């Protein structure tokens, strides 16, 4: 049986993961910048790829928490590497 604090931490992390998916998906709406819908939908779908990747990690973490920890760590490292290559 899970303790009350363990259950609270479990659901807080799941809620944070779902909120992160929603936050990242929100940026996909940038594809609708006044262009016709037919031209904006492919861009919208491409912009949803990062949210889909995070959603897959959240879904895997729901069943296997250690995969979620490794997945979020890998996403953080991938983001840090991609940002480090930018020429500021």
pLDDT digits (tens, 9 = 90+) for 48-80: 999 999 999 999 999 998 999 999 999 999 999
Cβ atoms of 54 and 79 within 8 Å: the answer is no
**Residue 20 token pair:** 């992160």
User: Apex CA 26: angle with CA 24 and CA 29, to 5°?
Assistant: 130
What's the predicted TM-score (pTM) here? 0.81
* pLDDT tens figures, 23-44: 999 999 988 888 888 888 999 9
Q: What is the dihedral of CA 75, 79, 82, 86, to 10 degrees?
A: 180
Cβ atoms of 84 and 68 within 8 Å: the answer is no
C-alpha–C-alpha distance, residues 68 and 71, integer Å:
5
């Amino acid at each position: 049986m899970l303790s009350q604090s363990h259950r609270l931490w479990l659901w807080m992390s799941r809620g944070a993961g779902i909120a992160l998916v929603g936050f990242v998906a929100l940026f996909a709406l940038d594809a609708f910048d006044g262009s016709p819908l037919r031209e904006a939908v492919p861009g919208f779908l491409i912009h949803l790829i990062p949210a889909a990747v995070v959603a897959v990690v959240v879904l895997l973490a729901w069943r296997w928490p250690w995969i979620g920890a490794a997945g979020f760590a890998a996403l953080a490292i991938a983001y840090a590497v991609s940002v480090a290559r930018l020429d500021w």
